[in-house]
Amino acid sequence: MKRQEESLAGWSFIWWLFKFFGLPITFPWLIYHFFDIIQLKRKRAALTSKVVMITGASSGLGEALAHIFYSCGCRIILVARRKEELERVKNDLMSTHQTVPTHPPIIVSLDLTNINNLKDEVIKAISIHGRIDVLINNAGISYRGEVINTNVDVDIKVMVLNYFSQIALSKIVLPFMMEQQSGHIVGISSVQGRIAIPFRSAYAASKHALQAWYDTARAELSDKNIKFTIVNPGYIKTSLSLNALTGNGQIYGLMDKTTESGYQPEYVAECILKSVLKQEKELTIAPFSPRCAIVLRTLFPSLFFWIMQKRAQKLAKDN
């Protein structure tokens, strides 16, 4: 009997705490969440017929982004090197989303590292619809290697694709957006654009550069109604590590455990869509530890550097 009374007293106290603290927080949150869902649905509907160009669209995250934006009724321009894979993605889009009222996707087979030849091909693609509303710079390459044993040619190759090709493409598209007085450019960076980890020097450097360019462009063009979103995902379950370059320029060819257990591309694509709808300036999609590391790098850099040193030593021993 005494135990029952103690149990009831305990539940009564918990209920009192919930009424005193929980209800004032829960109801406003539910109301906010309800209106947020309604607003997102309206904005999603407003995407119908918007022209969206996606680079690296032949697989992985780029393919997932093509599906999510095509399902919103967007007019999609698919950009990548492999034409046959782009054809496959195009056919998948049209067969998967048969009830979606939109135009057949446009395919642009293009090597983005050939920067001097980008302009004519991109302008041809844009001229089909006469405008460009959203550019998603997704194409990129990863890297695995030691600083001391990495050929500078590899640093250059990674930087050209991950940084220079993105800003070159953005500069081709920007005049169209300025003329129509609207537009949104999305850059797919990485958590490693915020924090650098051992054995990723070329990759992290290219993503750090990307972060800086987007922050600067956003500030300079703030009065032109052009939005910039930088996306910092953690590991995504794609072929990025398989296709990564090593220090001597060879293909890494292995699926890392971290990549294998990473986010599904479809989930990341959905997060990016919501970020575009909300016109967010920056989006980080990562578990607690990388988020914590970003804060640590900012507030306690010496501690962060020490942790990275220990990590580098451990990885060197394991390899």
Task: Return the active site residues.
Answer: 203
C-alpha–C-alpha distance, residues 143 and 164, integer Å? 16
Question: For the chain, how are helix, strand and coil distributed in percent, rounded to 5?
Answer: 60, 15, 25
Question: How many Cβ atoms are within 10 Å of 40's Cβ, its own excluded?
Answer: 14
- Position 15, amino acid: W
How many CA atoms does the CB half-sphere of 79 hold within 13 Å? Answer: 25
Strand duo 183-188 + 134-137: pairing: parallel
Between strands 134-137 and 143-144, the pairing is unpaired
Q: Tokens 């990548």 map to which residue?
A: 80
d(CA 195, CA 28) in angstroms, rounded, equals: 35
Which residue carries 């020097």 as its tokens?
Answer: 201
With left for phi above 0 and alpha for psi between -120 and 50, is residue 206 left, alpha or beta? alpha
Q: Are 118 and 110 in contact (CB under 8 A)?
A: yes
Q: Which residues contact 157 (CB under 8 A, 6 or more apart)?
A: 113, 141, 245, 249
- Tokens 């990275």 locate to 308
Q: Which residues pair with 135 in a beta bridge?
A: 53, 185
